[in-house]
Amino acid sequence: MAKTAFIGAGAGFAGDRTDAAAPVVEALAQCDGPRFLMFETLAERTLALAQLERRRNPQHGYSPALERFVGPVLADCLRHGIRIVGNFGAANPRAAAKRILALARGQGLAEPRVAVVEGDDLTGVLSLRELAARETDGKILAGATDIVAANLYLGAGPIAEALGRGADVVVTGRVADSALALGPLIHTFGWSDDDRLAAGTLAGHLLECGAQVTGGYFADPPYKSVPGMADIGYPIAEVAASGAIVITKPAGSGGRVDRLTVTEQVLYEIHDPANYLAPDVVLDLTDVTVEEIGQDRVRVSGARGKPAPDTLKATVCIDGGLLGEAEISYAGPNAVARAKIAAETIIERMHRRAPGLKIRTDAIGFVSVLGDDAGAFASRGNAAAEDIRLRFAAQSADIAAVQMLLDEVEALYCAGPAGGAGVRRRVTPRLASASCLIERSFARPVVTMLGGGA
């Protein structure tokens, strides 16, 4: 049995840097032991948009960045035996797998064995009414008429199975982010006890957001400085059979790995440190220690596990109407007063013309982060500013009302205060999402092998 497994992060979200994986692959190629490269590219909205794309074209529905993520590193991964695991399959893992096989052919590579993990899609398995009965908070699904996407968070088991069947690349849809690392660790070490599963889940949690553990989403100078952010190194986890984890990054890359960056990621999106729920285990972080053991090397240990929860999380997305946004600028002396008149004009006219439409107004450059739907000028008086960007936004299923708001903002050119300029407007379809707890009996993952003589 191997003593250490090496897992690198190639991406932490769908819009991540597509050149980040190459230095990680180069570093992994120098490691002695089982090596894996994980791509985490899936969020709730990302998956729902992929479901809509698949409806339009049955051959689509996977991550649109798949080729840009995998293409540049596929040959090196296959050459060095670095196995790729990614949820870039989104709503159509099978189509994504076929695209990877096509990439390999296009590069003149021997056909890899690509595993497809399916079974997360609950569409047609549970009705909208049945899903609404399982919603955890609120009444988002109660008034819905159609489901855009309903996907269950699968665990690490199918990924471990796929690797056990010889997959060079494992393509999943919706799995728990941490499962992208836990699956390879179960495959490598045969882990089944809760404490080891907890350690693997923690390793996945540290890697799942890519550069966040190496200084990304961390810099706040002069309090927290991060060198070389233009070339920030993405993380590599060295995971021992005992469950101890060392987080590092490629030598010579930008960013930093130390107690502060790792601690922030340990706590990122954690509601209850004693009970972090995952499909395979409940992770208890309360005894975790974070220790610097060298330059850009941090040891993380002490994860404890409790039995897996009885239910699995599912995210259900429905049509959320339209978001209309329109902006206009006021600059120069007395800009605040002129912007205030513009905002008051829009609010008064829309109150008369579309009284049910809730409008948010932000005065960017004057107040926006601390503003609210009551109005951007409510608490700032006449403070001086000479460059104001007014933003109006409304979300509604009433297309006509949203369009009316955008028209009214554009009319400020001639019917508003002096000096308005630079109107930009757009309408964006919105999605609303709800979380549901689903009985495990509805989880029926299937692993299919493609390519490589399968």
One-character DSSP codes across 150-185: EEE-B-SHHHHHHHHTT-SEEEESSB-TTHHHHHHH
pLDDT of 366 > 80? The answer is no
Say whether pTM exceeds 0.75.
Answer: yes
Of the candidates 49, 60, 151, the residue with the CA atom closest to the CA atom of residue 98: 60
Q: How far apart are CA 213 and CA 420, in angstroms?
A: 43
Domain covering 316-435, topology:
Alpha-Beta Plaits (3.30.70)
Read off the pLDDT of each residue in 192-219 and give the average, rounded to a whole number.
Answer: 98
Q: How far apart are CA 125 and CA 131, in angstroms?
A: 10
Digit-coded pLDDT (tens) for 328-337: 999 998 998 9
Per-residue model confidence (pLDDT) at position 275: 97
What is the Cα 386 distance to its own chain's centre?
37
Per-residue model confidence (pLDDT) at position 453: 64
Per-residue model confidence (pLDDT) at position 138: 72
Q: How far apart are CA 349 and CA 372, in angstroms?
A: 19
pLDDT of 137 > 90? The answer is no
DSSP letter for 307, please: P
> Is the pLDDT higher at 97 or at 367?
97
With H, G, I as helix, E, B as strand and everything else as coil, classify residue 111: coil
Pair 240, 300: CB distance under 8 Å: no
Strand extents, DSSP E, 185-310:
236-240, 245-248, 276-277, 282-284, 289-294, 297-301, 304-306
DSSP letter for 81, please: T
pLDDT of 369 > 80? The answer is no
Give alpha helix (H) positions in 57-175: 66-80, 93-106, 128-132, 157-164
Cβ within 8 Å of residue 306, ≥6 positions away: 194, 198, 275, 281, 282, 284
Per-residue model confidence (pLDDT) at position 373: 54
Place of tokens 């308005």: 420
> What tokens were used for 157?
């088991």
Please provide the average confidence, as pLDDT, over all residues in the chain. Answer: 94
Per-residue model confidence (pLDDT) at position 260: 98
CA distances from 75 to 121, 270, 440, 449 (A): 31, 37, 38, 20
Of the candidates 252, 263, 204, 192, the residue with the CA atom closest to the CA atom of residue 228: 252
pLDDT of 144 > 90? The answer is no
Cβ within 8 Å of residue 445, ≥6 positions away: 117, 118, 119, 120, 154, 157, 158
> What tokens were used for 18?
């597509």
**Residue 119: strand pairing partners:** none
Question: Boundaries of CATH 3.30.70.100 in the chain?
Answer: 316-435
Q: How far apart are CA 195 and CA 201, in angstroms?
A: 10
Digit-coded pLDDT (tens) for 373-408: 555 565 555 556 688 999 999 999 999 999 999 999
Per-residue model confidence (pLDDT) at position 318: 93
Rounded to the nearest 5°, which phi and psi values hold at 401? -65, -40
Per-residue model confidence (pLDDT) at position 139: 83
> Is the pLDDT higher at 146 or at 214?
214
Pair 178, 278: CB distance under 8 Å: yes
Q: Which amino acid is at 267?
A: L
Read off the pLDDT of each residue in 232-236 and give the average, rounded to a whole number.
Answer: 98
- Sign, Cα dihedral of 14, 20, 22, 26: negative
With H, G, I as helix, E, B as strand and everything else as coil, classify residue 160: helix
Rounded to the nearest 5°, which phi and psi values hold at 247? -100, 130
For the CA atoms of 349, 351, 352, 355, what is the dihedral angle to 10 degrees?
Answer: 140
Pair 402, 357: CB distance under 8 Å: yes
pLDDT of 169 > 60? The answer is yes
